[in-house]
Amino acid sequence: MKLQAVSNRKLYIQIADQIRDQIMAGAVEAGRQLPSERELAQNLGVSRPTVREALIALEVAGLVEVRVGVGAFVRQRDDKRTPLPELSASPLETMAVRRLLEPEAAALASRQISPEGTARLDETLRRMRDETEAGQWSSDSDRMLHMTLADACGNAVLRETLDGLWTSRRGEVDTRFHQHLADIDAVRQHILGDHEAIVAAIVGGNAEGARTAMSKHLDFVSAAMLEAWE
């Protein structure tokens, strides 16, 4: 029997591996731009968002530089085979699960958040406003706001699941993915407005409003992750 090994590697890592091999073989010289996301997706038979994950994995590995609105450019390299961030979860898959769970967590939190939780939300929003005004974005502030809601939802299993999702957000690929989004001023401003709407609904005890505000926020971020950057 002639059997082939079954690969359980993430799809975007498999794609990044192929592009890395081409770069190492000299198919694209240092400083030159890689083919567009659309072209790569067509040649590989995958979606453009998956190609984007692969390009960011290559960026984390130091092989390319991603310029939002322009494309990906090959960086100077040596002859060593650069390792890819194999342990990073797919940012798109993580977001898909967040969209399922976090709106309900927000609705639950609106019914039972403590004064301490409310104070933490207020302080986190203040920090987010200062960061946005300074043209910055902090994953720590983002996590603090969302996990404050998870802490207040009253369901230990849901809270633990959300904590796991946010732990996966700390992976190099996800962090870089969201940082590229946050580098866009309009995205930062929109996200701040979303967070303010979420907090207002929760503090006001409006469960349906909190659920809707969280859904709209995650829908916006998900759409921004899927939009073409070129």
Q: Which pLDDT value is given to residue 9?
A: 82
Put simply, whether the predicted model's pTM sits higher than 0.85 gets the answer: yes
Give the model's confidence band at 6: pLDDT under 50 very low, under 70 low, under 90 confident, else very high. very low
CA–chain centroid gap for 118, Å, is 26
Q: Output 201 or 136, whichever has higher pLDDT.
A: 201
CA triple 55-89-53, angle to 5 deg? 15
Residue 74 CA to residue 228 CA, distance in Å, equals 19
pLDDT > 50? residue 3: no
Whether the Cβ atoms of residue 38 and residue 8 lie closer than 8 Å to each other: no
Whether the Cβ atoms of residue 75 and residue 63 lie closer than 8 Å to each other: yes
Q: Which pLDDT value is given to residue 76?
A: 81
Q: Which domains does the chain have, with CATH numbers?
A: 11-74 (1.10.10.10), 91-226 (1.20.120.530)
50's torsion region: left (phi>0), alpha (psi -120 to 50) or beta?
alpha
| Region 168-188 average pLDDT | 91
SS3 (DSSP) at 73: strand
* Mean pLDDT value across the chain: 91
Q: Which position has the token pair 């000299």?
A: 26
